[in-house]
Amino acid sequence: MVEEKKGNREKKKKFKGLFKGKKDETKKNEFIKELKVAYRSIENKGKYIKTILLPLVFLGVLVFLMPFILEKVVPVPLDLNPATFIIGGAVPILLGIFYPYISWKNRENDINSKMHFMITHLRVLAISDLSLKDIINMLGGKKVYGSLGEELKRASVLSTQWKVPLARAFRFVSDRTPSKMLRDFLDRFSQSLISGVGHREFIEQEQGGVLEEYKTMYEASNENITILNEVYVSLLIAITFIMSFGLVMPMIVGSADINTFVYLASFMMIVTEGLLLYLLRSMIPADEIWPQTGEKGRLEKGLYRLFKLSLIGCVTIGFVLFFAKYSLSVPLLQLMPFEILIAISLTPLLIPGVKTAMEENNITRRERNFLGFLPALGSIAAMRGGKINESVHYLSEKDYGILTEHIRALYRRLRTRIDDDAAWEWFGVDTGSNYIQRASEMFREATYAAANPRDVAH
């Protein structure tokens, strides 16, 4: 019985090892496939070789040869560890080789963070009389969609210029996109078109699924923030321990220099902050607050102006403090350490920080009021036969709280009849809200294409 049990265990281990080997082989094949796609997706290979690959390879070779160079330059014999220079030289070379893959994978986060806007935009335009080809041409290449717009532009070019059916164009793009979410969506879209399902019906059914998938991804990213927070706190405790160690060591040994530990802890703090910022940017989908049109409204310009004035204030205060301490020898400032003077000099930066936090809170309030304004606009415009400008005039006389002044400014621009598209764009830019700007753009495009305003707004 014991021998039979041992035999069964050995068989199970063999089966587990077999499946594990297949899993590793699959991951390896996927990585090689993605690496090939990443290299094929380089638009300007000559520029990549000249500006990225060759400089990084040159830097790596230079680090490799650094021990021999130092022996010739420095007359004193140096005790150098060759492993340091081997690793230090290999890192930039590997970075140059895998740069296309890293850049290609970074686009995945950019695409995923804009999928919810894209599917909503598709749904709104599908209500209108536009064909699917016109909708893809409209969305393809939009700057606000970033990498996602570039992927849609590829499908648009294949369909419009090369006369490739949209189903095949979607399949072509899905095989080359770094985003799994977009890949699955385009595969389903392609299959539905081949099966004869209308694009409106498919998009209506698909919108909820894509938004739910985005919600799941967003919640997973929030869990990553919790993990990063715990790691960050642990690193801060370690850095604090090093600083405490630096304070105690001179008392115990007497010869240890406290500055060494302080500088080491400061360096570790800078590295930790930089690493945390990089991980946050790479792991968490971007959730932009401010409009991404490239235009800056009065609110954003005011914050930039306040930030510049704060920088001038920092330089002025720092100059006065250091001049008073080292040139005039003011007794009170003589007692203050260098670090305290730096902290006092940087204090004016609190002003733009507090102001920005207040404005972001106001943006949230505008977005809540906009959720009541847009459905009302759609319903009134539908009752008035699609007359948007008259409906905006009617609602501008109502009270929408903090959003009221922006609605009235929108009507004043529309009343000039110069450029309705620009009027709606600046409505979103002036509010400072990316959500309001995107929703206004979608509403304008769909109603311009003869969609029912009530259906679009709801």
- pLDDT for 172-228, tens place per residue? 999 989 999 999 999 999 999 999 998 999 998 898 888 888 888 888 888 888 888
- pTM above 0.95? no
Please say whether the beta carbons of 400 and 372 come within 8 A.
yes
Domain-wise residue ranges, the chain: 25-107, 117-201, 202-284, 358-457
pLDDT at 23 over 70: no
At position 235, the amino acid (one-letter code) is: L
Residue 204 tokens, joined: 């209506």
DSSP string spanning 88-103?
Answer: HHHHHHHHHHSHHHHH
What pLDDT score does 2 carry?
Answer: 46
Q: Is 346 helix (H, G, I), strand (E, B) or coil?
A: coil
pLDDT of residue 80: 67
**pLDDT tens for each residue of 357-396:** 999 999 999 999 999 999 999 999 999 888 999 999 999 9
**pLDDT above 70: percentage of residues in the chain:** 91
Mean pLDDT of 388-406: 93
For the stretch 136-157, pLDDT in tens is 999 987 888 989 999 999 999 9
Question: Who has greater pLDDT, 237 or 8?
Answer: 237
Encode 241-264: b = buried (16+ Cβ within 10 Å), e = exposed: eebeebeebeeeeeeeeeeebeee
- Do 221 and 283 touch, CB atoms closer than 8 A? yes
Specify the amino acid at residue 168: R
- Cα-flanking dihedrals φ and ψ of residue 114, to 5°? -115, 5
Q: Please give the average per-residue pLDDT across 435-442, as a whole number.
A: 94
Both structure tokens of 185? 């969506």
Would you state the pLDDT for residue 287?
Answer: 80
Q: Residue 159 — very low, low, confident or very high, per pLDDT cuts 50/70/90?
A: very high
> Where would I find the H helices in 195-253?
199-252
Mean pLDDT of 6-31: 62
Counts of helices then strands in the chain (DSSP H, E): 22, 0
